[in-house]
Each structure stands twice: as C-alpha cells, then as structure tokens.
Amino acid sequence: MSRRFRGLSGEKIMAWKGVALALAGAIGLSAPATAQTLTMAVGAPVTSLDPHFHQLSPNNAVAAMVFDRLVNTDGQARQVPGLAESWSTVAPDTWEFKLRRGVRFHNGNEFTAEDVAFTFRRVPNVPNSPSSFAAFVRPIREVQVVDSHTIRLRTDGPYPLLPQDMTNVYILDRETHENATTEDFNAGRAAVGTGPFRVVSHRLGDRIEFERNDEYFGDKPHWQRVNYRMIVNDSARTAALLAGDVEFIDQVPTADLARLRRDDRLYMSEVTGLRIIYLSLDHPREEASPFVTDNNGQPLPRNPLRDLRVRRALSMAIDRQAIVDRVMEGAATPSGQFFPPGIFSYVPDLPAPRFDAEGARRLLAEAGFPQGFRITLHGPNDRYPNDGRIIQAIGQMWTRIGVRTAVEAQPWTTFVARAGRQEFSAFLIGWGSNPEGSHPLRNLIATFNRDRGWGASNRGRYSNPEVDALLIQALGTINDGEREQILIRAQRMALEDVAIIPLHIQTNIWAMRNHLRHDSRADELTRAQDVKPAR
C-alpha cells in the first residue's frame, strides 16, 4: 500500500525535496558547498552505457549504479536480494524467483516479470558485443512467467549456478528497451533502469553526471549529484585527488601508496579482491618446450615442466611475501589458491607455498636437473599492477636456484594472443574470479574443450581427468554445502599438482579525501552509492 502511495505522489515529494534543498542551501552555507555532490575519478574508461554490451569492470560499475540485477552482491561478493526478493528450486531443473513489488524504472514504468523475460531475450542479441553476457543466460532453456512478480527458469538438468549467473545480468524495461540499440544507451536516451542513480549527461570515456533516484527501493545514496570522471593516467589521478579536484579515486597506483597512507588529509579503503595473479606453465608438450633450453642454449629432449618436482621447485623458489612487500607495496596477499579466506569454496589448510630455495634446488636435482636449465618467462607490461616488475623479480628468484631466467614483457594485446596460441613455456597472467570455485576451475584448470566451453582461459593446457570428473559432479549438485566440498577437493587436487603457480591476490584500494568513507568491494566495482560522508 505505502509503496503505491509513494508512487502516486512522487511529484509532490520531489517538490518538497526541492524546497528542502533550497532551504538547506540557504541555511547550510557553513557546511562544505559540495555537501550533496560527489566528484570521483576512476582509472579505466567506461566503454558503453549498454549494460549488456561489454563485460568489463568499469562498465559493470556504472551499470550497477543505474540498473539492478535479480540477485545483487554485497561488498564480499555474497548474493543478496536485488530485484528478486527470494529464489529457490521448485524442481531439480527449475529455479523460481519471487520479484520485488512496487519497483519503478526511472521513467515511472513498473517493474514486472515480463521485463525479466524480455531482458533474457535481449542479452544474447546485442550486436558487436566485444565480450558478451550471453553465457549467463545460456543455461536457461525456458522462461515461464507465473504471475506479474513470479518467474520460473528451467535449465537442462540441475544447474546450481543460476543465482550466481543472475548477479551478472542487469534488468531492463520491456516497454522502454524493446528496440533500444547500444547506440541509444550510449546517447543516454535508453540509460533508464531501476538503480539508485539516473544518468543526467555524459561523454563516453570522459565523464558521466548522475542524479540520485529518490524512488530507489533500497538504501538511498547520500549524494544528490555525482560527477563520475575517468582519469586514465595513474599519476594524474593521484594528483587530482591530492589537489582536491576530485574527492575519490580508485586503482591507487602502488608506487604512491606509501605516501598517500602517510597523508592525513586522505583516507584509504582496502579489501582483498578476487583477482589472482599466477604463472601458467607449458603442460602438454612432451618434447622440447619452446622457451626452455639447457645451460648451453640447446633444446632439452623433454619438457621439464611436465615433472611435478620441477613445477613444485619453481613454485617454492618464489618468495611471494617479498614480491608483495617490495613490488606490490603491500597491496596484495600471497596465495596458494584462487580465493581469499571467507569466499565460498575457499580451500582450508592450503596456504601459499613456503619460500624454500634450498628445497627447490634439491627437488630440481631429484628431477634430474642438478645444474638447472634456462627458461624465458613472459608477461604483459600494461595489464596488471606492476606486472613487468613481478616477472623480473621471479626471474631473479628462479635464477638463484639455477634456473637461469630471461624475462620478456610485452603489451597485453600481443602477449595474450601469443599466450592463447601456446607459444610460451611460462608466463604471468591474472584472473578475476566469480566467488564460486567452479568458475576458475572451469576456465583455468578444466581440460580445454571448445564444445563444452571449458578451459577457455586454460592457456597452459593443463589436463587432469580426475579434476574434470569432480567438476562435472559439482556442477550437478544443487546443495551448496555438498557442492562446496566437491569444489574444495577439485581445487586441492589441481593445486597440489601445480596446475598453475598462484602468486598473490590483489588488494583493491580506493583513496578519498578525509571527509569521506567507503564500503570497499571485492569485485573492484567503483560505485557512488558505496561512498558516504565520514561520521
């Protein structure tokens, strides 16, 4: 009842708000002039306002300000009700979502189950999408609108990950977006959602102006207006914060961390993220690996990286804490697995491998390489924080156990194409995970299989039938507790076999002027609703 009432009298409320604002403006001159306006700068450009166009953190962050999902996520990436108030399986292969009532889009249209059905139809049909959201709706075989606020989704067999997939799909309005193209969104016409902010104006790649949606169903953001700027250059972004041109920045460059932490005009917000940095090794080649040679530069008859002892030696030789302290300036946590503690399917008692150069040398000798060998370690130089520095540091550490390492850093686009063609013997790369063990397992560890869509990012082509079998079992298990145990077993098996060499999990860091506070997010999204005034 009360919701309907508010819907009807929306204009009146707006008018009162206007009066209140004017009064606040007249009286509150002693408060900072920008009390209700937030100016923030992000480090990566937003490429589109179409929430189904490009799977990219900056785009998703803006989408999460303007739109909502059936299942939203909190700062720790846990599922929380969004446009769906609850969800459950009504049959092993059918999920039912109960939708929130009384939600309205920015243009006043009511949100109903038809809008959800429409959204699922649109997602796979966005032309020219550089990285599509289609995978998140592909498991849905049939959409059944039970009533205006209940929807059932049938899948092929039990599919436990559907709520997780739903945390990635932003819901549109059928009436508004029936024929809306990506260009319509980018022009601002179609950027109409249910989210806490509406788009006022914007210039792609430069800035977006938001205004608070006072009808929002959830917690109302503090800010009446938000000026969302994109400053790609790291030093320029830091300088803008220091100069007070902006009040809030993301992606704080690690080189500036020490100094910013000392500055008491600033406040930092940090959380261990979900992005793991790891080394991938050449698994499939039996004979010589392209960048491994003996100490005279001659190809080795067999690929030493197939020997578990060699892989363990290379992992033990890395002083992860030194990399975190010296290269990452503390903005990371050494890790031996995909997730930080507290995330679903975190493997207990699997700490980061202990640094042990002596042990590594012994293992190498056992494996038949007492004099070591030579290897080239590849990596990008413009993708992850300090990527080029990390591979140099690892080059030092491997060289010290007798594996003479050359280091080659390349721009990301060249690098990732070559890595995808299995041209390297060892390389550094990162992975931003969904908080569910099957996600990294399916993409990084599972045997490469194009038809199944498995191993899409398994560029080292690791293959372990036992892990694959466990993964299939997990993906058919609806019960969260049981599934978690299976996923833990699968991860432990792959990681003890050194399928990859995990290095560290990045810390997401935001910096702001001291009058602000921020609810940090493991998923790296920088959103205005998470910023609040101090006190």
Partner 1 sequence: MSDVTLDKAPVAPKEETPFRRFVSEFMASKIAVGGLLVFSIIVVVALLAPWIAPQNPYDLGQIDIMDGRLEPGEVGGSGITHWLGTDDQGRDMLSGIMYGLRISLTVGAGSALIACLVGASLGLLAAYAGGRTDTVIMRLVDLQLSFPTILAALMILAFLGKGIMNVVIALVIVEWAYYARTVRGSALVERRREYIEAAQCLALPTRRILFRHLLPNCLPPLIVVGTIQVARAIALEATLSFLGLGVPITEPSLGLLIANGYEYMLSGKYWISFYPGVALLVTIVSINLMGDHLRDVLNPRLKK
Q: Which residues bind partner 1 (CB under 8 A)?
A: 234-235, 238-239, 253, 255-256, 258-259, 322-323, 326-327, 381-382, 388-389, 392-393, 395-397, 399-400, 404-410
Nearer to partner 1, 369 or 454 (CB): 369
Least distance (Å) between residue 342 CB and partner 1: 30
Residue 161's Cβ-side half-sphere holds a number of Cα atoms within 13 Å equal to: 23
**Contact present, 283 and 460 (Cβ < 8 Å):** yes
Nearer to partner 1, 362 or 400 (CB): 400
User: How far is the C-alpha of 111 from the C-alpha of 151, rounded, in Å?
Assistant: 13
Least distance (Å) between residue 329 CB and partner 1: 9
SS (H, E, C) 365-427: HHCCCCCCCEEEEEEECCCCCCHHHHHHHHHHHHHHCCCEEEEEEECHHHHHHHHHCCCCCEE
Nearer to partner 1, 233 or 514 (CB): 233
Task: Supply the DSSP symbol for 223.
Answer: -
**Contact present, 230 and 496 (Cβ < 8 Å):** no
Least distance (Å) between residue 388 CB and partner 1: 5
Nearer to partner 1, 143 or 322 (CB): 322
User: How far is the C-alpha of 210 from the C-alpha of 203, rounded, in Å?
Assistant: 12
User: How far is the C-alpha of 506 from the C-alpha of 330, rounded, in Å?
Assistant: 9
Strand partners, 225: 37, 211
DSSP assignments along 235-249, one per residue:
HHHHHHHHHTS-SEE
Nearer to partner 1, 393 or 446 (CB): 393
Least distance (Å) between residue 326 CB and partner 1: 5
23: left (phi over 0), alpha (psi -120 to 50) or beta: alpha
Segments of 48-158 assigned E as strands: 71-73, 79-81, 84-91, 94-99, 140-147, 150-155
Least distance (Å) between residue 327 CB and partner 1: 7
Least distance (Å) between residue 262 CB and partner 1: 10
Nearer to partner 1, 153 or 318 (CB): 318
User: How far is the C-alpha of 466 from the C-alpha of 76, rounded, in Å?
Assistant: 31
Tokens 């099957």 correspond to 438
Least distance (Å) between residue 429 CB and partner 1: 17
Is beta strand 225-230 parallel, antiparallel or unpaired with respect to 37-42?
parallel
Segments of 26-67 assigned E as strands: 37-42
Least distance (Å) between residue 433 CB and partner 1: 27
Nearer to partner 1, 76 or 399 (CB): 399
Least distance (Å) between residue 395 CB and partner 1: 4
Nearer to partner 1, 313 or 397 (CB): 397
Nearer to partner 1, 265 or 326 (CB): 326
Nearer to partner 1, 74 or 382 (CB): 382
**Contact present, 154 and 139 (Cβ < 8 Å):** no
Nearer to partner 1, 324 or 499 (CB): 324
Nearer to partner 1, 475 or 503 (CB): 503
Task: Read off the tokens for 12.
Answer: 């009146």
Least distance (Å) between residue 423 CB and partner 1: 14
Least distance (Å) between residue 318 CB and partner 1: 11
User: How far is the C-alpha of 185 from the C-alpha of 126, rounded, in Å?
Assistant: 12
Is beta strand 426-432 parallel, antiparallel or unpaired with respect to 266-281?
antiparallel
Strand partners, 94: 91, 154
Least distance (Å) between residue 369 CB and partner 1: 16
**Contact present, 437 and 344 (Cβ < 8 Å):** yes
Residue 21's Cβ-side half-sphere holds a number of Cα atoms within 13 Å equal to: 14
